[in-house]
A and B are shown apart, each in its own frame.
Chain A
């Protein structure tokens, strides 16, 4: 199995690999090249790398200008500044015109850790999800990050790749299917279904093990794509298990949990619970400590599942 690495390193490596065969590809950054790891592309293809300095809004519109000129730009900064500060640039100059711009934005979610709440994007998926035509990919491990980069390049239109900072192990393999828009079943189980995205996929798999020890068969489905959303998979899960728990390193408002709720409402009477950041901001701390405090752990997922099924103490 390939070694653990940060998703941002996997992102940087994938850009370099893609750059070798895709001559139309250019990479843009906003003074965070050594954090987003686009510096790897810069080192290999300096003539196709453009630093815009601390000017995220300008970078996003300039990326549109590159796309209008036949290039495939990948623009990177932190998720908060890309989707937040440059929101309206993405909305009007990229999404509204279906410009072929990709943005791989790193340091998403609470796992930024010590930098604290001002730098922890917990709303980026929500912001991007309301934009018509946007594709949102949330890879869970290094292998999937590479697949997301290549998939993004193959899509004609804007793609947001949500990149996390921590060093993580691979939980998928090269042969695990990765089709944008198709959620991937990683574990079968008929009692309850855990729908997870990003770094929470690993916690969901661990939670399923804990539940198995308690005699509860939990399925785990990896929603690596938040948009277009695999509504059919959600309805199949509801029918098959009768209970669904969503887990995401994002606000429970507007992200995976909301997307699943929107599908279930009026269509299913399945039991339902959303695990994520409960309408509050993040704060400084070690990622593991933050995950524990905000309930983004296998243990909490396990107990929430038990409670939803009316077992255990909840």
Chain B
């Protein structure tokens, strides 16, 4: 898919994300919109996945450790054919396989159930170690949030990843700078996150988290013997002016007017 098409695709997927969230009147718009291009870089450019064989043994694993951003993941998975797009409109409903946080036993294409922050990256370390033990060639990609890095478990996982030289593990941080209670720096300052991961022994890179080529370009080889950390600079609520950089949209439902305005900004109409 060329870049112009991917840009168009991103706008469509943002509209899907907002529609899902509007229909269920719950969920997390801010982080879903900020992590979309990271997930697109994985599912459209870099990772080996096959929607016809979601449990294919040699697929690359993708773990969305910041599980509350799953509307973005669901939109991408539906578009990639893992399940029908119509399923999206039943997000968080009693009869839906699309849970409020990703469920590997209910939704095709989900490699790990996540949502309790910090646990996904630790599961990803286990998966990467399992791949090494099996001498399998697949990679494990894990998307974490910046607020999530306040969890001590993230650093236990980073320590183990470096200790076991898991160069088949890639941790991508959706670095939008905000969390529920406000900016990271006000809630609990993270300092120089990349420097911290480097100190733990990971190879660190940076990318524009809304530029799919920039993200994909940062995921190349050249980190033999070390896990890779990519700090993806993003904007929370990306694509909707009144949500951008506003921690108030971490987990707030849209009213009719807000939804219509958001969809219009993304070039759609509410009936589409």
Instruction: Return the contact of B123 from the options A26, A50, A64 (Cβ within 8 A).
Output: A64
Q: Which residues of A contact B119 (CB under 8 A)?
A: 61, 89, 92-93
Give B98 Cβ to nearest chain A Cβ, in Å: 16
Size of the A side of the interface (Cβ < 8 Å), in residues, is 28
Tell me the B119-139 residues at the A interface (CB within 8 Å): 119, 122-131, 133-134
Q: How far is the CA of A71 from the CA of B163 in the complex (A)?
A: 21
Q: Which residues of A contact B103 (CB under 8 A)?
A: 97
Q: Which residues of B contact A98 (CB under 8 A)?
A: 105
Task: Check B261 for interface membership: any CB of A closer than 8 A.
Answer: no
Of chain A, the residue at the smallest CB distance from B126 is A65
A65 near B122 with CB under 8 A, answer yes
Tell me the B99-154 residues at the A interface (CB within 8 Å): 103-105, 111-113, 115-116, 118-119, 122-131, 133-134, 152-153
DSSP majority for the B interface? helix
Of chain B, the residue at the smallest CB distance from A55 is B156
Most chain A beta carbons < 10 A, residue from B119, B124, B126, B130: B126
Of chain A, the residue at the smallest CB distance from B123 is A65
Mask, A39-64, CB within 8 Å of B = 1, is 00000000110101101011001111
B124 near A65 with CB under 8 A, answer yes
B115 near A62 with CB under 8 A, answer no
Give A288 Cβ to nearest chain B Cβ, in Å: 38
A69 near B131 with CB under 8 A, answer yes
Of chain A, the residue at the smallest CB distance from B112 is A68
A58 near B115 with CB under 8 A, answer no
Of chain A, the residue at the smallest CB distance from B151 is A57
DSSP majority for the A interface? helix
Q: Which residues of A contact B156 (CB under 8 A)?
A: 52, 55, 57-58
Q: How far is the CA of A216 from the CA of B103 in the complex (A)?
A: 55
B133 near A48 with CB under 8 A, answer yes
Give A85 Cβ to nearest chain B Cβ, in Å: 11
Q: How far is the CA of A69 from the CA of B166 in the complex (A)?
A: 15
Q: Which residues of B contact A47 (CB under 8 A)?
A: 133
Of chain A, the residue at the smallest CB distance from B138 is A69
Give A230 Cβ to nearest chain B Cβ, in Å: 28
Instruction: Return the contact of A58 from the options B125, B131, B134 (Cβ within 8 A).
Output: B125
26 chain-A/chain-B pairs, Cβ below 8 angstroms:
A47-B133, A48-B133, A50-B164, A55-B159, A57-B122, A57-B152, A57-B156, A58-B153, A58-B156, A58-B160, A61-B119, A61-B126, A61-B153, A62-B129, A65-B124, A65-B126, A68-B111, A68-B112, A68-B126, A68-B127, A69-B130, A71-B133, A73-B126, A92-B116, A93-B113, A93-B116
Using a CB–CB distance below 8 Å, which chain A residues touch chain B?
Answer: 26, 47-48, 50, 52-53, 55, 57-58, 61-71, 73, 88-89, 92-93, 96-98
| 20 further A-B pairs in the complex, CB-CB below 8 A; given A58-B122, A61-B119, A68-B104 | A52-B160, A57-B118, A58-B125, A61-B157, A62-B122, A62-B126, A64-B123, A65-B112, A65-B122, A65-B125, A65-B126, A65-B130, A68-B126, A69-B127, A71-B130, A71-B133, A89-B119, A97-B103, A97-B105, A98-B105
